[in-house]
Each structure stands twice: as C-alpha cells, then as structure tokens.
Amino acid sequence: MLVKTILVFLGLMVLVALIGRALFPSALPRIMRKRAAPPVCAKCGRYLIGRKTCDCGNKAGEGKAK
Ligand SMILES: [Zn+2]
C-alpha cells in the first residue's frame, strides 16, 4: 500500500513537471533550456556576444527581422 502511494505521488510529480514545462518553458533554469543560437551579425556573420553592434557597422538583429 505504501509503495503504491509513493508511486502515485511520483506520477503526480512527473505530471506536474510535464504540465509546467509545457505551460511555462521560460520558467525553467537556463541550463535545462535549449541553447539559443548566439546572436550573429546578419551582414558579416560575426558573433555578437555582449554587444549590440558589429564592427562592420551593422546592428545586431538587423536583417533577421525583415
Ligand atoms: Zn558585421
């Protein structure tokens, strides 16, 4: 009986986790999230880490939105 209760409890925990992950993916810690592609300059393809503009003068994200 006790084992059954524990199994049901574990099942509920998994269910809650699955529902929570489906509803609030942004609430997960960053490690569990899928790694988003690093921002890349749309013009020259250089990585834009920690800055908004590229050395070539193109702003990050420009060109992607179009
Ligand atoms: Zn660039």
In the predicted structure, residue 60 carries a pLDDT above the cut 60:
no
15-41 residue pLDDT tens: 988 888 777 766 666 555 566 677 787
Cα 41 to ligand 1 centre (Å): 5
How far is 7 from 13, CA to CA, in rounded Å?
Answer: 10
How distant, in Å, are the alpha carbons of 54, 56, 62, 63 from that of 66? 18, 19, 8, 5
Cα 44 to ligand 1 centre (Å): 4
Domain ranges of the chain: 1-35, 37-66
Cα 42 to ligand 1 centre (Å): 7
0.95 cut: is pTM over it? Answer: no
pLDDT score recorded for residue 66: 41
What residues are paired with 30 via a beta bridge?
A: none
